[in-house]
Protein backbone atom coordinates (compact mmCIF):
# COMPACT_ATOMS: atom_id res chain seq x y z
CA UNK A 1 0.00 0.00 0.00
CA UNK A 2 2.54 2.47 1.22
CA UNK A 3 4.78 1.63 -1.72
CA UNK A 4 2.00 2.45 -4.14
CA UNK A 5 1.39 5.82 -2.47
CA UNK A 6 5.08 6.53 -2.56
CA UNK A 7 5.26 5.55 -6.22
CA UNK A 8 2.40 7.92 -6.94
CA UNK A 9 4.11 10.76 -5.10
CA UNK A 10 7.28 10.01 -7.01
CA UNK A 11 5.33 10.17 -10.29
CA UNK A 12 4.10 13.65 -9.43
CA UNK A 13 7.59 14.72 -8.49
CA UNK A 14 8.93 13.28 -11.74
CA UNK A 15 6.41 15.36 -13.69
CA UNK A 16 7.59 18.49 -11.90
CA UNK A 17 11.19 17.58 -12.67
CA UNK A 18 10.15 17.06 -16.28
CA UNK A 19 9.04 20.69 -16.41
CA UNK A 20 12.43 21.78 -15.23
CA UNK A 21 13.90 19.98 -18.19
CA UNK A 22 11.57 21.71 -20.64
CA UNK A 23 14.10 24.45 -21.12
CA UNK A 24 16.13 21.87 -23.01
CA UNK A 25 13.34 21.17 -25.55
CA UNK A 26 13.14 23.06 -28.89
CA UNK A 27 10.17 25.05 -27.53
CA UNK A 28 12.09 25.77 -24.32
CA UNK A 29 15.14 27.00 -26.27
CA UNK A 30 12.93 29.10 -28.55
CA UNK A 31 11.18 30.79 -25.59
CA UNK A 32 14.48 31.28 -23.82
CA UNK A 33 15.90 33.05 -26.85
CA UNK A 34 12.89 35.31 -27.49
CA UNK A 35 11.41 36.08 -24.06
CA UNK A 36 12.84 37.81 -21.01
CA UNK A 37 14.08 35.41 -18.32
CA UNK A 38 11.36 36.43 -15.81
CA UNK A 39 8.63 35.53 -18.27
CA UNK A 40 10.25 32.20 -19.16
CA UNK A 41 10.40 31.34 -15.45
CA UNK A 42 6.74 32.32 -14.96
CA UNK A 43 5.70 30.16 -17.93
CA UNK A 44 7.75 27.28 -16.57
CA UNK A 45 6.00 27.54 -13.21
CA UNK A 46 2.57 27.62 -14.85
CA UNK A 47 3.42 24.56 -16.96
CA UNK A 48 4.73 22.74 -13.93
CA UNK A 49 1.62 23.60 -11.90
CA UNK A 50 -0.67 22.56 -14.77
CA UNK A 51 1.06 19.21 -15.16
CA UNK A 52 1.12 18.52 -11.44
CA UNK A 53 -2.56 19.32 -10.83
CA UNK A 54 -3.77 17.56 -13.95
CA UNK A 55 -1.71 14.50 -13.23
CA UNK A 56 -3.04 14.43 -9.68
CA UNK A 57 -6.62 14.79 -10.91
CA UNK A 58 -6.17 12.13 -13.55
CA UNK A 59 -4.53 9.66 -11.17
CA UNK A 60 -7.35 10.28 -8.65
CA UNK A 61 -9.94 9.37 -11.30
CA UNK A 62 -7.97 6.26 -12.18
CA UNK A 63 -7.84 5.34 -8.48
CA UNK A 64 -11.64 5.66 -8.19
CA UNK A 65 -12.17 3.84 -11.49
CA UNK A 66 -10.02 0.89 -10.40
CA UNK A 67 -11.68 0.59 -7.04
CA UNK A 68 -15.17 0.72 -8.53
CA UNK A 69 -14.28 -1.80 -11.26
CA UNK A 70 -12.74 -4.19 -8.78
CA UNK A 71 -15.28 -4.07 -5.97
CA UNK A 72 -18.63 -3.45 -7.65
CA UNK A 73 -20.24 -6.00 -9.97
CA UNK A 74 -20.24 -3.55 -12.90
CA UNK A 75 -17.79 -5.65 -14.91
CA UNK A 76 -17.37 -8.86 -12.90
CA UNK A 77 -21.02 -9.82 -12.38
CA UNK A 78 -22.18 -11.15 -9.00
CA UNK A 79 -19.01 -13.15 -8.32
CA UNK A 80 -19.01 -12.90 -4.51
CA UNK A 81 -21.49 -13.46 -1.71
CA UNK A 82 -21.87 -9.72 -1.02
CA UNK A 83 -22.41 -8.93 -4.70
CA UNK A 84 -24.99 -11.69 -5.12
CA UNK A 85 -26.84 -10.51 -2.02
CA UNK A 86 -26.93 -6.99 -3.46
CA UNK A 87 -28.47 -8.34 -6.67
CA UNK A 88 -31.05 -10.24 -4.63
CA UNK A 89 -31.98 -7.16 -2.59
CA UNK A 90 -32.17 -5.03 -5.74
CA UNK A 91 -34.52 -7.54 -7.36
CA UNK A 92 -36.80 -8.21 -4.41
CA UNK A 93 -37.01 -4.50 -3.71
CA UNK A 94 -38.33 -4.01 -7.25
CA UNK A 95 -41.20 -6.35 -6.33
CA UNK A 96 -41.96 -4.91 -2.88
CA UNK A 97 -41.83 -1.40 -4.35
CA UNK A 98 -44.28 -2.49 -7.06
CA UNK A 99 -46.70 -3.78 -4.43
CA UNK A 100 -46.48 -0.48 -2.51
CA UNK A 101 -47.73 1.58 -5.48
CA UNK A 102 -51.23 3.10 -5.40
CA UNK A 103 -52.47 0.69 -8.10
CA UNK A 104 -50.07 -2.18 -8.69
CA UNK A 105 -50.57 -3.67 -12.13
CA UNK A 106 -51.71 -7.29 -11.93
CA UNK A 107 -49.10 -9.50 -13.56
CA UNK A 108 -46.24 -7.06 -13.05
CA UNK A 109 -42.68 -8.20 -12.41
CA UNK A 110 -42.81 -11.86 -13.56
CA UNK A 111 -39.35 -11.93 -15.20
CA UNK A 112 -37.90 -10.21 -12.15
CA UNK A 113 -39.49 -12.72 -9.75
CA UNK A 114 -38.07 -15.63 -11.79
CA UNK A 115 -34.66 -14.05 -11.92
CA UNK A 116 -34.80 -13.42 -8.20
CA UNK A 117 -35.61 -17.04 -7.41
CA UNK A 118 -32.80 -18.16 -9.66
CA UNK A 119 -30.36 -15.90 -7.82
CA UNK A 120 -31.72 -17.20 -4.51
CA UNK A 121 -31.04 -20.76 -5.67
CA UNK A 122 -27.50 -19.81 -6.63
CA UNK A 123 -27.03 -18.19 -3.25
CA UNK A 124 -28.33 -21.20 -1.35
CA UNK A 125 -26.11 -23.54 -3.34
CA UNK A 126 -22.96 -21.43 -3.09
CA UNK A 127 -23.19 -19.62 0.21
CA UNK A 128 -26.08 -21.14 2.16
CA UNK A 129 -28.80 -19.15 3.84
CA UNK A 130 -28.71 -15.46 4.67
CA UNK A 131 -31.15 -12.88 5.96
CA UNK A 132 -31.37 -11.38 2.46
CA UNK A 133 -32.50 -14.76 1.17
CA UNK A 134 -35.20 -15.09 3.83
CA UNK A 135 -36.37 -11.54 3.07
CA UNK A 136 -36.46 -12.31 -0.65
CA UNK A 137 -38.55 -15.44 -0.09
CA UNK A 138 -41.02 -13.46 2.01
CA UNK A 139 -41.32 -10.88 -0.78
CA UNK A 140 -41.94 -13.56 -3.42
CA UNK A 141 -44.52 -15.16 -1.11
CA UNK A 142 -46.40 -11.86 -0.81
CA UNK A 143 -45.94 -11.24 -4.53
CA UNK A 144 -47.55 -14.60 -5.38
CA UNK A 145 -50.45 -13.84 -3.01
CA UNK A 146 -50.99 -10.48 -4.68
CA UNK A 147 -51.00 -12.03 -8.16
CA UNK A 148 -53.32 -14.84 -7.10
CA UNK A 149 -55.75 -12.34 -5.58
CA UNK A 150 -55.82 -10.69 -9.00
CA UNK A 151 -56.36 -14.01 -10.82
CA UNK A 152 -52.98 -13.90 -12.51
CA UNK A 153 -51.61 -17.31 -13.41
CA UNK A 154 -48.21 -17.48 -11.75
CA UNK A 155 -47.98 -21.21 -11.17
CA UNK A 156 -44.48 -21.35 -12.64
CA UNK A 157 -43.27 -18.91 -9.99
CA UNK A 158 -45.24 -20.25 -7.03
CA UNK A 159 -44.16 -23.84 -7.79
CA UNK A 160 -40.56 -22.75 -7.97
CA UNK A 161 -41.00 -20.87 -4.71
CA UNK A 162 -42.50 -23.94 -3.07
CA UNK A 163 -39.63 -26.09 -4.25
CA UNK A 164 -37.16 -23.54 -2.97
CA UNK A 165 -38.91 -23.24 0.40
CA UNK A 166 -38.74 -27.01 0.83
CA UNK A 167 -34.98 -26.83 0.48
CA UNK A 168 -34.91 -24.21 3.22
CA UNK A 169 -37.35 -26.10 5.45
CA UNK A 170 -35.13 -26.68 8.51
CA UNK A 171 -34.88 -22.93 8.95
CA UNK A 172 -37.39 -21.43 11.33
CA UNK A 173 -36.61 -17.70 10.94
CA UNK A 174 -38.84 -15.72 8.67
CA UNK A 175 -38.16 -12.96 6.20
CA UNK A 176 -39.15 -9.36 6.67
CA UNK A 177 -39.62 -8.14 3.10
CA UNK A 178 -42.85 -7.19 1.33
CA UNK A 179 -45.10 -4.31 2.35
CA UNK A 180 -45.93 -2.88 5.76
CA UNK A 181 -49.10 -1.01 6.56
CA UNK A 182 -48.65 2.44 8.10
CA UNK A 183 -51.22 5.14 8.89
CA UNK A 184 -51.16 8.88 8.55
CA UNK A 185 -52.19 9.10 12.19
CA UNK A 186 -49.17 7.22 13.48
CA UNK A 187 -46.80 9.24 11.30
CA UNK A 188 -48.40 12.50 12.43
CA UNK A 189 -48.22 11.44 16.06
CA UNK A 190 -44.54 10.57 15.70
CA UNK A 191 -43.58 13.81 13.96
CA UNK A 192 -45.83 16.07 15.98
CA UNK A 193 -43.13 17.30 18.36
CA UNK A 194 -40.50 17.82 15.67
CA UNK A 195 -40.37 21.55 15.16
CA UNK A 196 -38.26 23.71 12.87
CA UNK A 197 -36.00 24.33 15.87
CA UNK A 198 -34.77 20.76 15.65
CA UNK A 199 -33.18 21.64 12.32
CA UNK A 200 -32.21 25.19 13.27
CA UNK A 201 -30.29 24.09 16.36
CA UNK A 202 -28.14 21.55 14.56
CA UNK A 203 -24.70 23.10 14.17
CA UNK A 204 -21.27 21.80 13.45
CA UNK A 205 -19.94 21.57 16.98
CA UNK A 206 -16.25 22.13 17.57
CA UNK A 207 -16.23 22.09 21.38
CA UNK A 208 -16.81 18.98 23.45
CA UNK A 209 -16.67 18.14 27.15
CA UNK A 210 -14.33 15.50 28.60
CA UNK A 211 -17.26 13.19 29.31
CA UNK A 212 -17.07 10.01 27.25
CA UNK A 213 -20.14 9.12 25.20
CA UNK A 214 -21.61 5.86 26.49
CA UNK A 215 -21.55 2.91 24.16
CA UNK A 216 -25.35 2.66 24.54
CA UNK A 217 -25.80 6.20 23.27
CA UNK A 218 -23.50 5.54 20.34
CA UNK A 219 -25.48 2.43 19.48
CA UNK A 220 -28.76 4.32 19.75
CA UNK A 221 -27.52 6.96 17.31
CA UNK A 222 -26.45 4.25 14.87
CA UNK A 223 -29.82 2.55 15.19
CA UNK A 224 -31.59 5.79 14.36
CA UNK A 225 -29.37 6.41 11.35
CA UNK A 226 -30.13 2.92 10.09
CA UNK A 227 -33.43 4.13 8.59
CA UNK A 228 -31.55 6.20 5.99
CA UNK A 229 -32.91 5.66 2.48
CA UNK A 230 -30.57 4.00 -0.01
CA UNK A 231 -30.72 2.94 -3.63
CA UNK A 232 -33.01 -0.14 -3.87
CA UNK A 233 -32.50 -0.45 -0.12
CA UNK A 234 -29.06 -1.90 -0.75
CA UNK A 235 -27.66 -0.09 2.29
CA UNK A 236 -24.07 0.43 1.27
CA UNK A 237 -23.28 2.56 4.33
CA UNK A 238 -20.82 1.17 6.86
CA UNK A 239 -19.40 2.93 9.87
CA UNK A 240 -16.20 2.44 11.83
CA UNK A 241 -16.55 3.70 15.40
CA UNK A 242 -13.39 4.91 17.11
CA UNK A 243 -13.36 5.60 20.84
CA UNK A 244 -9.81 4.54 21.67
CA UNK A 245 -7.66 7.66 21.93
CA UNK A 246 -4.78 6.22 19.90
CA UNK A 247 -7.07 5.09 17.10
CA UNK A 248 -8.86 8.47 17.07
CA UNK A 249 -5.58 10.37 16.96
CA UNK A 250 -4.35 8.15 14.15
CA UNK A 251 -7.50 8.72 12.08
CA UNK A 252 -7.48 12.46 12.69
CA UNK A 253 -3.83 12.76 11.74
CA UNK A 254 -4.84 12.03 8.14
CA UNK A 255 -7.69 14.58 8.13
CA UNK A 256 -7.04 18.23 7.41
CA UNK A 257 -9.96 20.02 9.07
CA UNK A 258 -9.97 19.05 12.75
CA UNK A 259 -7.12 21.13 14.11
CA UNK A 260 -7.94 22.69 17.48
CA UNK A 261 -10.94 20.53 18.32
CA UNK A 262 -10.67 17.00 16.90
CA UNK A 263 -8.73 15.73 19.89
CA UNK A 264 -11.62 16.73 22.20
CA UNK A 265 -14.09 14.45 20.42
CA UNK A 266 -15.13 11.42 22.42
CA UNK A 267 -16.02 9.45 19.28
CA UNK A 268 -14.84 9.52 15.70
CA UNK A 269 -17.06 7.83 13.16
CA UNK A 270 -15.58 6.92 9.81
CA UNK A 271 -18.48 6.60 7.39
CA UNK A 272 -17.80 4.38 4.40
CA UNK A 273 -19.76 2.82 1.53
CA UNK A 274 -19.47 -0.82 0.51
CA UNK A 275 -18.90 -0.83 -3.25
CA UNK A 276 -19.94 -4.45 -3.63
CA UNK A 277 -23.63 -3.50 -3.49
CA UNK A 278 -23.37 -1.57 -6.78
CA UNK A 279 -24.10 -3.30 -10.01
CA UNK A 280 -23.32 -1.11 -13.01
CA UNK A 281 -21.53 1.91 -14.43
CA UNK A 282 -24.51 4.18 -13.78
CA UNK A 283 -24.08 3.62 -10.06
CA UNK A 284 -20.46 4.74 -9.97
CA UNK A 285 -21.23 7.72 -7.72
CA UNK A 286 -23.92 6.05 -5.64
CA UNK A 287 -21.56 5.21 -2.80
CA UNK A 288 -20.87 8.87 -2.19
CA UNK A 289 -24.54 9.73 -2.40
CA UNK A 290 -25.90 6.97 -0.18
CA UNK A 291 -22.93 7.21 2.17
CA UNK A 292 -23.44 10.97 2.40
CA UNK A 293 -27.11 10.51 3.17
CA UNK A 294 -26.26 8.04 5.89
CA UNK A 295 -23.78 10.49 7.38
CA UNK A 296 -26.45 13.20 7.47
CA UNK A 297 -28.85 10.84 9.24
CA UNK A 298 -26.19 10.00 11.77
CA UNK A 299 -25.57 13.69 12.39
CA UNK A 300 -29.29 14.27 13.00
CA UNK A 301 -29.48 11.12 15.13
CA UNK A 302 -26.65 12.43 17.33
CA UNK A 303 -28.41 15.79 17.51
CA UNK A 304 -31.66 14.10 18.54
CA UNK A 305 -29.76 12.54 21.45
CA UNK A 306 -28.34 15.87 22.59
CA UNK A 307 -24.84 15.13 21.31
CA UNK A 308 -22.75 17.50 19.23
CA UNK A 309 -21.01 16.54 16.02
CA UNK A 310 -18.88 17.93 13.25
CA UNK A 311 -18.60 16.32 9.83
CA UNK A 312 -15.00 16.11 8.65
CA UNK A 313 -14.23 16.05 4.94
CA UNK A 314 -12.45 13.17 3.30
CA UNK A 315 -11.47 15.14 0.19
CA UNK A 316 -8.04 13.61 -0.11
CA UNK A 317 -5.61 12.40 -2.73
CA UNK A 318 -5.32 8.64 -3.27
CA UNK A 319 -2.06 8.38 -1.31
CA UNK A 320 -3.63 9.70 1.91
CA UNK A 321 -6.71 7.54 1.38
CA UNK A 322 -4.50 4.46 1.07
CA UNK A 323 -2.46 5.33 4.14
CA UNK A 324 -5.50 5.96 6.34
CA UNK A 325 -7.19 2.72 5.20
CA UNK A 326 -4.10 0.76 5.91
CA UNK A 327 -3.57 2.39 9.33
CA UNK A 328 -7.15 1.69 10.41
CA UNK A 329 -7.84 -1.55 8.55
CA UNK A 330 -10.65 -0.14 6.44
CA UNK A 331 -11.66 -2.96 4.07
CA UNK A 332 -10.62 -2.44 0.46
CA UNK A 333 -14.20 -2.75 -0.83
CA UNK A 334 -15.27 0.30 1.18
CA UNK A 335 -15.14 3.86 -0.07
CA UNK A 336 -14.35 6.39 2.64
CA UNK A 337 -17.06 9.07 2.63
CA UNK A 338 -16.21 11.28 5.61
CA UNK A 339 -15.41 11.27 9.30
CA UNK A 340 -17.69 12.63 12.01
CA UNK A 341 -16.34 13.90 15.31
CA UNK A 342 -18.87 13.68 18.14
CA UNK A 343 -19.17 14.20 21.85
CA UNK A 344 -21.09 15.75 24.71
CA UNK A 345 -21.56 19.49 24.41
CA UNK A 346 -20.56 22.11 27.02
CA UNK A 347 -23.24 24.12 28.87
CA UNK A 348 -22.61 27.15 26.74
CA UNK A 349 -20.33 27.52 23.75
CA UNK A 350 -19.92 29.18 20.37
CA UNK A 351 -20.57 27.76 16.94
CA UNK A 352 -19.72 29.30 13.59
CA UNK A 353 -22.78 31.20 12.37
CA UNK A 354 -22.43 29.72 8.87
CA UNK A 355 -25.15 31.93 7.34
CA UNK A 356 -27.29 30.28 4.69
CA UNK A 357 -28.34 31.44 1.27
CA UNK A 358 -32.00 32.41 1.02
CA UNK A 359 -34.22 29.58 -0.23
CA UNK A 360 -35.15 31.70 -3.26
CA UNK A 361 -31.53 31.67 -4.39
CA UNK A 362 -31.12 27.91 -4.17
CA UNK A 363 -34.53 26.94 -5.49
CA UNK A 364 -36.23 26.95 -8.86
CA UNK A 365 -39.91 26.06 -9.01
CA UNK A 366 -40.35 24.55 -12.43
CA UNK A 367 -43.49 25.98 -13.95
CA UNK A 368 -42.81 25.26 -17.60
CA UNK A 369 -40.19 23.36 -19.58
Ligand X SMILES: Cc1cc2nc3c(=O)[nH]c(=O)nc-3n(C[C@H](O)[C@H](O)[C@H](O)COP(=O)(O)O)c2cc1C
| Interacting residues with ligand X (CB under 6 A) | 203-204, 206, 257, 310-313, 338, 351-352, 354
Task: Tell me whether residue 95 or residue 205 sits nearer to ligand X (CB atom).
Answer: 205
DSSP 22: G
Query: Closest residue (Cβ) to ligand X?
Result: 257
Task: Tell me whether residue 66 or residue 350 sits nearer to ligand X (CB atom).
Answer: 350
Q: How far is the CB of 207 from ligand X (least distance, A)?
A: 11
- Whole-number Cα distances in Å, 220 to 19, 101, 186, 189: 55, 32, 22, 21
Q: How far is the CB of 236 from ligand X (least distance, A)?
A: 17
Task: Tell me whether residue 136 or residue 310 sits nearer to ligand X (CB atom).
Answer: 310
Task: Tell me whether residue 136 or residue 312 sits nearer to ligand X (CB atom).
Answer: 312
Burial class (CB within 10 angstroms; exposed 0-12, middle 13-18, buried 19+) of 226? middle
Task: Tell me whether residue 161 or residue 310 sits nearer to ligand X (CB atom).
Answer: 310
Q: Give the DSSP H/E element, type plus range, for residue 242.
A: strand 237-242
CA atoms within 13 A on the CB side of 296: 10
Task: Tell me whether residue 205 or residue 275 sits nearer to ligand X (CB atom).
Answer: 205
Q: How far is the CB of 261 from ligand X (least distance, A)?
A: 7
Give the Cα-Cα-Cα angle 316, 219, 186 (nearest 5 degrees). Answer: 110
Task: Tell me whether residue 97 or residue 203 sits nearer to ligand X (CB atom).
Answer: 203
Give the Cα-Cα-Cα angle 137, 142, 145 (nearest 5 degrees). Answer: 125
Q: How far is the CB of 235 from ligand X (least distance, A)?
A: 20
Q: How far is the CB of 342 from ligand X (least distance, A)?
A: 13
Q: How far is the CB of 295 from ligand X (least distance, A)?
A: 7
Give 238-242's long-range contacts (Cβ < 8 A, gap of 24+).
238/271, 238/272, 238/273, 238/274, 238/334, 239/269, 239/270, 239/271, 239/272, 239/294, 239/298, 240/269, 240/270, 240/272, 240/328, 240/330, 241/267, 241/268, 241/269, 242/267, 242/268, 242/269, 242/270, 242/328
The answer for residues whose C-beta is within 8 angstroms of residue 265's C-beta and 6 or more apart is 208, 248, 258, 310, 341, 342, 343
Q: How far is the CB of 356 from ligand X (least distance, A)?
A: 8
Contact 120, 139 (CB under 8 A): no
Q: For residue 140, which of 182, 103, 102, 109 has the smallest C-alpha distance?
A: 109
DSSP 226: T
Q: How far is the CB of 155 from ligand X (least distance, A)?
A: 52
Task: Tell me whether residue 88 or residue 337 sits nearer to ligand X (CB atom).
Answer: 337
Task: Tell me whether residue 92 or residue 208 sits nearer to ligand X (CB atom).
Answer: 208
Q: How far is the CB of 338 from ligand X (least distance, A)?
A: 5
Q: How far is the CB of 224 from ligand X (least distance, A)?
A: 19
Contact 288, 272 (CB under 8 A): no
Contact 279, 74 (CB under 8 A): yes
Contact 37, 295 (CB under 8 A): no
Task: Tell me whether residue 133 or residue 338 sits nearer to ligand X (CB atom).
Answer: 338
Amino acid sequence: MKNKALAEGAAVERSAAQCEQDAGTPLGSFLKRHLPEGMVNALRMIASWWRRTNLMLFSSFIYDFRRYRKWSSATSGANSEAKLQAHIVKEYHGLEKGMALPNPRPGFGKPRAKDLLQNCEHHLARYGLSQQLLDAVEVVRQYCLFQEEHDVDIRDISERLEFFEKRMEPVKESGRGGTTKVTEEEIRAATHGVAETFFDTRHSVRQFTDLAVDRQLIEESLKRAQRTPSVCNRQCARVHVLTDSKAKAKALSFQNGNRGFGSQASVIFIVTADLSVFTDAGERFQGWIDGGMYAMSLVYALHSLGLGSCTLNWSVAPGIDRRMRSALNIPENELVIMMIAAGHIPDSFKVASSPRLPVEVTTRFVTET
